[in-house]
Each structure stands twice: as structure tokens, then as C-alpha cells.
Amino acid sequence: MATTRTQVAIIGGGPAGLLLSHILHRAGIESIVLERQSRSYVLERIRAGVLEAGTIALLRAVGLGDRMDREGHPHDGAAIAWEGRPRFFIDTMKYTGKQMMAYGQTAITEDLYAARDAAGGTIIDQAANVQPHDVISDRPFVTYEKEGLSHRIDCDYVAGCDGFHGVSRASIPATVLKTYEKSYPFGWLGIMSPTPPYPDLCYCYSSRGFALASMRNPMLSRYYIQCDLDAEVEDWPDERFWEEFKSRCPEDMAEKIVTGPSIEKSIAPLRSFVAEPMRYGRLFLAGDAAHIVPPTGAKGLNLAVSDVFYLSRGLIEFYRNGKTLYLDCYSDMALRRVWASARISWWLTMLLHRFPNETPFEQQMRFNQFDYLQASAHAQASLAEQYVGLPFEA
């Protein structure tokens, strides 16, 4: 078996793994990224689109802001269009002085690959059977197979950045890990369309269900509708999607939606999931490997970024002065932010969707929740603060 050595072995080449590798490199720390899929597969995946203020600031601070600032679309907040009620705006600018940015995860992933390539970073794609070993010892290692050959990487630390279905969390004994889970009785059907987007990021509540208008660039729109769990993409030809989407937004909004062919269409179930702790010996989990939030708050990618902020700080402290203070509090610190995002994502999901078999009482609670939001500057400030993203802890 061919053996190499690095300081940090990173499992998963999504945004969490690539960003960690990039930040460590800037601090003079070596890493190797092991990705199960091909690079083209990773780059073609369409996912998140909205960045919190802290994510924007971090990407700029680590030299990844240029294209984002050129091509991204800054927003002062997001709108909620509620059937039969005046339009509401989550005004992050007014209440926090901060903006969000519409900039696709696909573009961030491209930027990260470009930065790692330019720095000569090692990213091994199509790595099969990746497995961390001996993570509770001082000499952990990771094995994998590539093109029929077995490989071993000796390292100081292992970062599990391999998403919800990865091997890292699964390698932690069930007796150590506590998991919390909630699934929702619906999914999101999303399309990408090469059409001019609706100008605002707009969340719609309708008696027909939730809908969301978002964007990637001036000629690329992203739209979602709440769908049944058993819905299939084949049941939703473009015409049916547009008709349903427009029926869920107010008339003045529907008139402005520019329809066209979809170039991607997919269905994602909604789920909340948190695994604790986010550390097992020398294995650290970051991003979707440790937690999933429903996309309603646009928090998933942003949480992956804040985990990487905390984890990179801990690793940098260790390699600079041998101290493990930040590594030792990584799980607690990261989880405080994870739970905050889990809660606001759950809250927005409950507020904005129709639930099957809901009682009239529960509907009244939802209407009243929204009325209170519209009437109270305190409620608006609280939502704006959470939507724009809580600050990273010092």
C-alpha cells in the first residue's frame, strides 16, 4: 500500500473541505482532500445560493472575494409575500447594517478549486472506500482506493467534511454520538432557468403551499415550490411548474415572472438533523457531515463556512503554538451556532409551508405569527439579525 503523509487529511471536496484546505494552506499547513466523486460531478451540483454577511466577510478575508464581488448580487434582505396580506421585507440592512449576497454554491466551488489548483494543492477525486482509522490515537490515518490501488495517508488530524451521507460521522461509535432529527412532510422542487430573475429574493406563503423566487445571475433564475414527498420530477413538466409557481405568488409578482425552459430540475426532501459532539478524538466533523437544516433559512452552506472558521482557527493555533484550546472547544462553539441556525430554519419552515392534516388552530397560530412579525419592529429586528447570520464567536 502506497503511504504518504500530510498534516490534515480532509474527507470530502465540497465547500467545507475545499475551504478548510484553502485556509490551512494560507497558514502554511498542509492538507490532502479526498473526494469520492469526479470534479465535474461536484461542479455540476446545483445547491445553495444565498450567503450570510459573515460568509461574505470570511470569503473576502481569505482572498476569495473578487469574483463574488464582481458577479454576486448584494441584497438588503429578502421579501415575504403572504397571500392576502401586504408584502413584508426582512430588512437586514435597516436592522443590522449588513447585506446578504446571491452567489451560487457552484460558483464558490469553482473559485475554491481554482484557488487550490493555483496553490498546487492536492485534491484526489474519485477516491473510493475512504476510511478514517485510529482517530482516538495520536497517529490517525486514512485509507482509500483509486484506480484499483490502495493508499494510506498518515496525518495529525482528520477533517470529516463529507456531507450528510459521508463516512466520517458513520465511523464514530453510536455510543458516543447523540443525534437529533426531524423530517418534514414535504420537499422542495427546484428549477434553474436561463431567464432574467425576479428582482427580489422572495419567499411566498400561499394556501397552495410555499414558493421561493431566487437568482444566480442576471440571466439565471432559481425557483422552488413546496411539493409532496412522493412527487417525481417527471410529473412536473416546465409548464406545470410555472403555472403552479405563479399561482402561489401575488398577482403583481406573477405578472413579472419571466418563464422559460428549465435547465435543471430536482426534488430535495426537507430535514433537520444535528449530531453531537462534532469531534471524536482527532476526527472533526464540519458542514453537512454533522448537521442538515431545511433550506428555508438559506443556512446550510453558511453553517459549513462557520464550522470551517472555528475548525481552521483551532488547527492554526495548534500548529502555531502547540495549544489545543480552540480545538478543544470546537464542538461546543460550532454547535451553539448550529443550533441557532437549526432553530431559525425550523421556524421559517413552520411559518412558510402548508402542512398536511393541519388543524384550524395551527393555521391561526401561523397567521398570528406573521401578523405579529408585520406589526412589531422587535420581531423584525430579531428575524433580520438571524437571517443575516449571527456573528462568529471570538
Q: Which residues of the shown chain bind ligand PHB in the complex (CB under 6 A)? A: 48-50, 212, 214, 222, 295-296, 298
Nearest to 186 by CA among 211, 214, 162: 211
Pairing of strands 50-51, 157-160: unpaired
Among positive and negative, which fits the CA dihedral 83, 87, 92, 94? negative
Active site residue 75: yes
**Partner touching 365 among ligand PHB, ligand RFL, none, CB below 5 to 8 Å by kind:** none
Q: Work out which of 8, 9, 10, 13 binds ligand RFL, going by CB under 6 A.
A: 13
**Partner touching 296 among ligand RFL, ligand PHB, none, CB below 5 to 8 Å by kind:** ligand PHB
- 172 near ligand RFL, judged by CB under 6 A: no
Nearest to 285 by CA among 264, 258, 265, 314: 314
Give the active site residue among 22, 295, 310, 353.
Answer: 295
Active site residue 203: yes
Closest approach, Cβ 262 to ligand PHB, in A, equals 14
| Cell triple for 108 | 464558490
Q: Work out which of 8, 9, 22, 35 binds ligand RFL, going by CB under 6 A.
A: 35
Note whether 30 and 125 are within 8 A (CB): no
| Run of H or E residues at 91 | strand 88-91
- CA 302 to each of CA 15, 113, 267, 308, 345: distance values in angstroms, whole numbers, following the listed order: 10, 18, 21, 10, 12
- How would you class 286 by CB atoms within 10 Å of its CB: exposed for 0-12, middle for 13-18, buried for 19 or more? buried
Give residues 201-230 in contact with ligand RFL (rule: CB under 6 A): none
Taking the least distance from each CB to ligand RFL, the nearer of 13 and 28 is: 13
Active site residue 310: no
**Partner touching 222 among ligand PHB, ligand RFL, none, CB below 5 to 8 Å by kind:** ligand PHB
Among positive and negative, which fits the CA dihedral 339, 46, 90, 71? positive
- 37 near ligand RFL, judged by CB under 6 A: yes
Active site residue 378: no
**Partner touching 187 among ligand RFL, ligand PHB, none, CB below 5 to 8 Å by kind:** none
Dist CA 157 CA 337 (whole Å): 23
Give the active site residue among 98, 291, 299, 353.
Answer: 299
Q: Work out which of 54, 140, 187, 190 binds ligand RFL, going by CB under 6 A.
A: 190
φ, ψ at 206 (rounded to 5°): -140, 155
Residues near ligand RFL (CB under 6 A), total: 37
Q: Which residues are catalytic?
A: 75, 203, 295, 299, 387
Q: Which residues lie near ligand RFL (CB under 6 A)?
A: 11-17, 34-37, 42, 47-50, 105, 127, 130, 161-163, 165-167, 188, 190, 268, 287-288, 295, 298-302, 304
